[in-house]
């Protein structure tokens, strides 16, 4: 049996060990915030955090997440109480069609939380594995900057 | 047909010894590390019904060990771990630079150096750096260990010279005897991030006494079925002064060691022209 900690909750996964993490999250745990874009590790839409680091959940069989911590977009905030990052995206128009947004949020969340440099350049590097087909990159970077600045106050 | 998880058998060794034993017992199993390339094929349904040797619990192979004469990289060390290591950053900067260009954070956090080598893509971004640092790949199998020079581990596109039952346990990077005078890494893809290289270069050179070049180590990836050292160029330049005449003559020898093709990512002509420019810029000291 595979043991996962998903958004702080301990879960026993009884399905096929080679099931993709994204499918286990969406189908077995009903965490449908994580989206599948390309299914081949190019677009980053399916990004979740594995032990705190951004990874493509379409490229990980759930057996490799055994005993590890997973964070999905559902861990950030709820409509009544958005996280700083989500509020930043809302304020700056960081979401357009929305498919890339959960992945963008999770990658940005790890970056802001890492307490390293958080300027325009570092955000662009951190988010370079997340593609936005609406090409809304400027506002996404602005959103993250706003959240990072807000966090220091 | 998509990947069918129920059709897969997962073998989960808990140590290096268990991994070697399990692989000997199930030679058809597919060694599986970070999975960043294997999973792409699996998602397309190309690996259904296979047994997978999941190496992710082999803790011994996840370490970076600095020893007196070099650095030993466990095969399961990720591209992110390599970039963050202070000794690698200082002594093997072309490798850390190469690792920073592999996909983006999501891939660098998962993809491993051993998996990159075992996958044997002609476009492996770390290979030119490993080639000029003269890295040795250490394989372990039922008959014991052996070291293979990096350039000799590749037999062709997606083919290695690993013997049945052998797994990569580590990559050894020897410290250069003398600090290189100059070093550079350059990858050319369609865009800056998330791109597969059209051509990828690593070069080191050492100036000798009297203004002549003592040694140059030059390598290209994506320019042949496997990574190539530019032996003809290196031989030609040894003991010469670097100037416009010698550099132009050296660049003419590029095709002695590489033979790029037209494919979905680029053309032979483009690859040759850009690679020649990169080589000349490096020798002139203009490649930053």
Q: Sketch the domain layout of chain B as residue ranges.
A: 5-54, 60-174, 182-284
Indicate the average pLDDT of chain B.
Answer: 96
Residues of chain A contacting B192 with CB distance shorter than 8 Å: 128
Question: Residues 104 to 123 of B: which have CB under 8 A from any A CB?
Answer: 104-107, 109-110
Residues of chain A contacting B115 with CB distance shorter than 8 Å: none
Mean pLDDT check: name the lowest of A25-39, A110-124, B76-90.
A110-124
The CATH number of B182-284 is 3.30.390.50
Chain A, nearest residue to B192 by Cα: A128
* DSSP secondary structure, B215-226, as one string: EEEEEEESSSSS
- DSSP letter (8 states) at residue A93: T
Q: Confidence band (pLDDT; 50, 70, 90) for B1?
A: low
**Res A152 pLDDT > 50:** no
Arithmetic mean of pLDDT, A13-31: 97
Residue of A3, A53, A50 whose CA lies nearest to A22:
A50
**Across chain A, where does the E strand assignment appear?**
2-6, 9-13, 47-50, 53-56, 69-71
Arithmetic mean of pLDDT, B149-178: 97
CA dist., res. B288 & res. B282, Å (int): 8
Q: How much is the pTM?
A: 0.96
Residue A123 contacts B where some CB pair is shorter than 8 Å: no
Confidence (pLDDT) at B118: 98
Q: Sketch the domain layout of chain A as residue ranges.
A: 2-75, 84-152
The CATH number of A2-75 is 3.10.20.30
Arithmetic mean of pLDDT, A120-129: 96
Residues of chain B contacting A58 with CB distance shorter than 8 Å: 39, 43
Q: Comparing A128 with A152, which gets the higher pLDDT? A: A128
Q: Do A56 and B56 touch (CB under 8 A)?
A: no
Confidence (pLDDT) at A151: 53
CATH classification of A84-152, choosing from 1.10.10.10, 1.10.150.120, 1.10.3720.10, 3.50.50.60?
A: 1.10.150.120
Confidence (pLDDT) at A153: 40
**Res B4 pLDDT > 50:** yes
Task: Give me the total of CB pairs closer than 8 Å, taking one residue from chain A and one from chain B.
Answer: 88
Confidence (pLDDT) at B45: 93
pLDDT tens-digit profile of B32-73? 999 999 999 999 999 999 999 999 999 999 999 999 999 999
From the list A18, A55, A61, the residue facing B106 with the nearest CB is A55
Q: How far is the alpha carbon of A80 from chain B, nearest alpha carbon, in Å?
A: 30
Confidence (pLDDT) at B288: 76
pLDDT tens-digit profile of B76-135? 999 999 999 999 999 999 999 999 999 999 999 999 999 999 999 999 999 999 999 999
Residue A55 contacts B where some CB pair is shorter than 8 Å: yes
pLDDT tens-digit profile of B210-231? 889 999 999 999 999 999 999 9
- DSSP letter (8 states) at residue A28: I
- Whether the domain at B5-54 and the domain at B60-174 fall into the same CATH topology: no
Q: Do B106 and A19 touch (CB under 8 A)?
A: no
Residues of chain B contacting A126 with CB distance shorter than 8 Å: 105
Question: Residues 42 to 71 of B: which have CB under 8 A from any A CB?
Answer: 42-43, 52, 54, 56
CA dist., res. B235 & res. B278, Å (int): 18
pLDDT tens-digit profile of B135-161? 999 999 999 999 999 999 999 999 999
Residue B95: partners with Cβ closer than 8 Å, 6 or more residues away: B82, B88, B126, B129, B130, B133, B173
Residue A53 contacts B where some CB pair is shorter than 8 Å: yes
CATH classification of B60-174, choosing from 3.30.450.70, 3.20.20.150, 3.30.465.10, 3.40.50.1100?
A: 3.30.465.10
Residues of chain A contacting B42 with CB distance shorter than 8 Å: 18
CA dist., res. B129 & res. B152, Å (int): 15
The CATH number of B5-54 is 3.30.43
Q: Confidence band (pLDDT; 50, 70, 90) for B193?
A: confident
Confidence (pLDDT) at B16: 98
Confidence (pLDDT) at A117: 87
Q: Do A56 and B106 touch (CB under 8 A)?
A: yes
From the list A40, A44, A54, the residue facing B43 with the nearest CB is A40
């Amino acid at each position: 049996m595979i043991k996962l900690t998903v958004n702080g909750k301990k879960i026993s996964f009884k399905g096929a060990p080679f099931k993709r993490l994204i499918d286990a999250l969406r189908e077995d745990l009903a965490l449908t915030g994580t989206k599948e874009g390309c299914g081949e590790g190019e677009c980053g839409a399916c990004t979740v955090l594995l032990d705190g680091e951004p990874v493509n959940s379409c490229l990980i069989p759930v057996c490799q997440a055994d005993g590890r911590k997973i964070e999905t977009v559902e861990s950030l905030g709820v409509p009544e109480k958005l996280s700083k990052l989500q509020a930043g995206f809302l304020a700056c128009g960081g979401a357009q069609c929305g498919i890339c947004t959960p992945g963008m949020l999770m990658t940005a969340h790890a970056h802001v939380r890492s307490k390293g440099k958080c300027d325009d350049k570092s955000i662009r590097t951190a988010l370079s594995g997340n593609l936005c087909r609406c090409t809304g990159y400027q506002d996404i970077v602005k959103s993250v900057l706003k959240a990072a600045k807000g966090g220091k106050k | 047909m998509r990947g069918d998880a129920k059709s897969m058998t997962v073998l989960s060794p808990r140590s290096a010894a268990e991994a070697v034993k399990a692989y000997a017992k199930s030679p058809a199993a597919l060694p599986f590390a970070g999975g960043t390339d294997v999973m792409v094929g699996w998602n397309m349904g190309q690996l259904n019904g296979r047994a997978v040797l999941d190496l992710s619990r082999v803790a011994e192979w996840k370490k970076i060990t600095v020893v007196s004469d070099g650095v030993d990289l466990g095969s399961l060390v990720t591209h992110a771990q390599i970039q963050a290591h202070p000794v690698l950053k200082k002594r093997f900067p072309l490798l850390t630079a190469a690792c920073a260009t592999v996909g983006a954070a999501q891939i660098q956090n998962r993809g491993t150096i051993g998996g990159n080598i075992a996958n044997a893509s002609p476009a492996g971004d770390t290979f030119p750096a490993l080639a000029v640092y003269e890295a040795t790949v250490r394989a372990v199998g039922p008959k014991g260990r052996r070291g293979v020079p990096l350039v000799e581990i590749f037999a062709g596109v997606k083919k290695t010279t690993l013997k049945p039952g052998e797994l990569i346990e580590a990559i050894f990077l020897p410290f250069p005897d003398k600090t290189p005078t100059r070093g550079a890494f350059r990858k050319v893809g369609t865009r800056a991030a998330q791109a597969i290289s059209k051509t990828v270069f690593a070069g080191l050179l050492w100036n000798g006494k009297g203004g002549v070049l003592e040694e140059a180590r030059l390598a290209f990836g994506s320019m042949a079925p496997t990574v190539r050292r530019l032996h003809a160029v290196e031989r030609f330049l040894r003991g010469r002064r670097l100037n416009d005449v010698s550099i132009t003559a050296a660049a003419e020898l590029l095709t002695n060691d590489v033979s790029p093709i037209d494919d979905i990512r680029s053309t032979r002509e483009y690859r040759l022209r850009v690679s020649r420019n990169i080589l000349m810029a490096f020798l002139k000291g203009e490649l930053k």
